[in-house]
């Protein structure tokens, strides 16, 4: 009976979190609370995923949802956020198909883990650290009794590093080496830049050409990133910013299988979604890319994002064999 009561409480909490997420009124503190709650246990994460799936089902029941155009020309895909708590609490116990988790088994070779386009995978390392690989990402793991080394070959990963004062945890990204003892941070590697977002702890970043060591001297580190900071690096320069917790959260929300955009240009939104798609979404012209949109979108929804954009923006969807194009609505 106690287990049933605990499950009931978890389900209701997940429902409330999802309702707040889709309300368009989520504060940075509440967003932090959602991430922390999902990280507490696999059961929490699974129930959160289940509530996201129920949102899809309930959204089909309430077709009164409609795009609202705000005065600043930002488009919100809104509708039933206020009534969703009641709806989802009434529906959660109905037999629904299990949600398809965004976390899938990484394709692994000895000491190497990678994901395909559209996959997100969580990998447990021998030291107790946990790495979550984003779409089209790959790492190589080299652990021994004296060191813990990761090579980030491509893509993006979130690292929840187990504390071990006797062994530094280092990540080589090519031009930079990131070194920690125990912390939580996100690393995104692209052709032009490297972006490091720190959720907890302290992260040291230095050029990979400098001599490595089994110890971290934070006073001598080339660049230090404390919790609540984001560092962006290219071949010749770096930009370090102390940001809000909301911005740090935004850099890792993909772990929950969602994207939340606040007054973002359509071009930026599509760039993010195209990372998870084989058939890319293009724009008819640059002017369309300047349209602003806000909302919460699920990565695993596939082409449903197109229906949402078509409903919320003055665009039409044109489908071709090798790509999809958004054109101006006549």
Per residue in 75-132, pLDDT tens? 444 433 333 333 343 333 332 233 333 444 456 677 899 999 999 999 999 999 999 9
Asked if residue 199 lies in contact with residue 180, where contact means CB atoms within 8 angstroms, the answer is: no
Confidence of residue 280 (pLDDT cuts 50, 70, 90): very high
Q: What does pTM read for this prediction?
A: 0.70
Q: Is the pLDDT of residue 30 over 90?
A: no
State percent of the chain over pLDDT 90.
31
Find the angle CA(53)-CA(57)-CA(61) to the nearest 5 degrees: 155
What are the distances in angstroms from CA 180 to CA 143, 159, 161, 315? 14, 10, 8, 46
Q: Return the sign of the alpha-carbon dihedral for residues 202, 208, 209, 214.
A: positive
Average pLDDT, the chain: 77
Strands 169-172 and 148-160: parallel
The DSSP string of 250-293 is HTTGGGGTEEEEEEEEHHHHHHHHHTT-SS-EEESSHHHHT-EE
Cα separation, 136 vs 115, in Å, equals: 5
Confidence of residue 265 (pLDDT cuts 50, 70, 90): very high
Cα separation, 269 vs 260, in Å, equals: 10
Residue 242 CA from chain centroid, whole number = 20
Query: Can you state the angle between helices 42-61 and 28-40, rounded to 10 degrees?
Result: 120
Confidence of residue 213 (pLDDT cuts 50, 70, 90): low
- Output the 3-class SS for 33-86: HHHHHHHHCHHHHHHHHHHHHHHHHHHHHCCCCEEEECCCCEEEEECCHHHHHH
Confidence of residue 315 (pLDDT cuts 50, 70, 90): very high
Domains annotated on the chain, with CATH = 2-91 (no CATH), 107-249 (2.60.120.1440), 257-328 (3.55.50.30)
What are the distances in angstroms from CA 71 to CA 68, 74, 75? 10, 7, 9
Residue with tokens 């998870």: 276
Question: Across the strands, what pairs with 240?
Answer: 231
Cα separation, 128 vs 163, in Å, equals: 9
Q: How high is the pLDDT of residue 58?
A: 45
């Amino acid at each position: 009976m106690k287990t049933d009561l605990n499950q009931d409480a978890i389900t209701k909490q997940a429902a409330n979190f999802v309702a707040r997420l889709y309300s368009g009124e989520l504060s940075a503190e509440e967003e932090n609370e959602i991430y922390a709650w999902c990280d507490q246990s696999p059961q929490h994460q699974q129930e959160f995923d289940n509530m996201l799936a129920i949102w899809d089902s309930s959204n089909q029941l309430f077709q009164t949802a409609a795009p609202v155009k705000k005065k600043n020309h930002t488009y919100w895909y809104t509708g039933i956020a206020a009534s969703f708590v009641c709806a989802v609490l009434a529906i959660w116990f109905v037999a629904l198909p299990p949600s398809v988790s965004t976390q899938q088994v990484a394709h692994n070779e000895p000491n190497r883990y990678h994901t395909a386009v559209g996959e997100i995978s969580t990998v447990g390392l021998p030291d107790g650290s946990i790495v979550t690989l984003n779409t089209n990402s790959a790492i190589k793991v080299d652990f021994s009794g004296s060191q813990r080394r990761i090579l980030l070959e491509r893509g993006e990963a979130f690292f929840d590093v187990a504390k071990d004062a006797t062994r530094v945890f280092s990540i080589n990204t090519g031009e930079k080496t990131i070194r920690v003892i125990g912390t939580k941070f996100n690393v995104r590697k692209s052709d032009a830049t490297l972006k490091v977002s720190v959720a907890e702890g302290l992260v040291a970043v230095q050029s990979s050409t400098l001599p490595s060591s089994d110890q971290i001297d934070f006073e001598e580190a080339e660049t230090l990133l404390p919790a609540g900071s984001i560092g962006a690096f290219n071949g010749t320069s770096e930009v370090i910013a102390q940001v809000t917790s909301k911005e740090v959260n935004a850099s890792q929300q993909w772990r929950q299988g969602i994207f939340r955009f606040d007054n973002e240009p359509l071009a930026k939104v599509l760039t993010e979604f195209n990372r998870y798609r084989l058939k890319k979404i293009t724009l008819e012209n640059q002017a369309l890319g300047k349209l602003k949109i806000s909302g919460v979108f699920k990565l695993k929804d596939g082409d449903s994002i197109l229906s949402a954009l078509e409903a919320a923006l003055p665009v039409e969807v044109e489908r071709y064999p090798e790509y999809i194009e958004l054109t101006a609505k006549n």
